[in-house]
Chains A and B, each alone.
Chain A
């Protein structure tokens, strides 16, 4: 009889801890998504930290770790953009829904691949269960520049119909490369 009361309390504690975790994530997501610091502000932050650092020598380990982490991540990003040829110029993300098992986000990406520019908007649904996480894209819309080519518009509508974001980027890479070759060749003969 006492044991079952204990169990009730313990279950309540577990459910509260999960709620707190979820609420904390929601709060942090919103803060992240509704803030924006420009590259200059970030550079200024780094510089002001470095100035302070020379003045006092303790308590800054955390910040210098952050700077190191940021630099390493930026190197990774710059490498992958150079390697794939896909340069993202802007990324807008908004968390529309977040529960224990389900997250829905809206994404808007712009960028270019060689001399082609693109813009994609889509919704990302993430469902978590015990074994794995499933990620599904929906409401995909793609805009490409230059888009005059009819085969390109056919390609784009097929991609949009099937929500095939992965296929879009894979094809974009090779199409952009060949487009660039053709363009250079054409210019050469002009």
Chain B
């Protein structure tokens, strides 16, 4: 009898738990549904505002008041965005930077034709003398050498030469990647290249009716500031 009572109690507890769970699920669903409705309303309001903009009617908060006296906040926020945009444009020119407490942090951008590639950072201290604090320049770029030669005497020249090295490297790497991507069916396996991407070796096939001719190509880029090879060796294997 006792065991039977225990079993009934257990069943009752289980039933309670299940009821509790079901109630929680319902509440959760109701919350989610309300959130969806709220967000949908918000989205629709925003969409209406954007549509009005497109139709050429400027109106903040739906009130078409003559913007005679825009708030100081609006003016300042507008100007801040403008200056930030201008600083962004400098990234497109190749050298941009901002002043830091101890000096300047430069950003060197690289590109190949119209495609922008990686950017590299150089954090410089300017007092008591110019020194490199931090940088994201890859190790195979001769940064130390260049710094020794130019950093103290002509920072502009230093950055310009460094930019040449970085741009050439980025261009070589980009060209190798593009070659691999667009001609993968003609190239056997993958391109072999060193980290500086100034030595490229690969095998490819040329087919003619029934015969395929395997070739091996070796490209050497002797000038580190150039993305055009100085030595090309093609052999039929």
Q: Which residues of A contact B (CB under 8 A)?
A: 2, 5-6, 9-10, 12-13, 16-17, 19-20, 23-24, 26-27, 30-32, 34-35, 37, 41-42, 45-46, 48-49, 62-63, 66-67, 69-70, 72-77, 79-80, 83-84, 86, 88, 91, 93, 107, 109, 124, 134-138, 140, 162-167, 169-170, 173-174
Contacts and interface: CB of A to CB of B under 8 A. Distances in A.
Interface string B70-83: 10110111111111
- Chain B interface size band reads 35 or more
A63 B94 contact: no
B29 to A, nearest CB: 6
Nearest to B67: A35
Contacts of A20: 39, 42-43, 46
Interface of B: 25, 28-29, 32-33, 35-36, 39-40, 42-43, 46-47, 49-50, 53, 58, 60, 70, 72-73, 75-87, 89-90, 92-99, 104, 109-111, 113-116, 156, 160, 163, 167
B89 A88 contact: yes
Contacts of A138: 114
B72 A166 contact: no
B114 A63 contact: no
A187 B82 CA distance: 39
A91 B80 contact: no
A136 B116 contact: yes
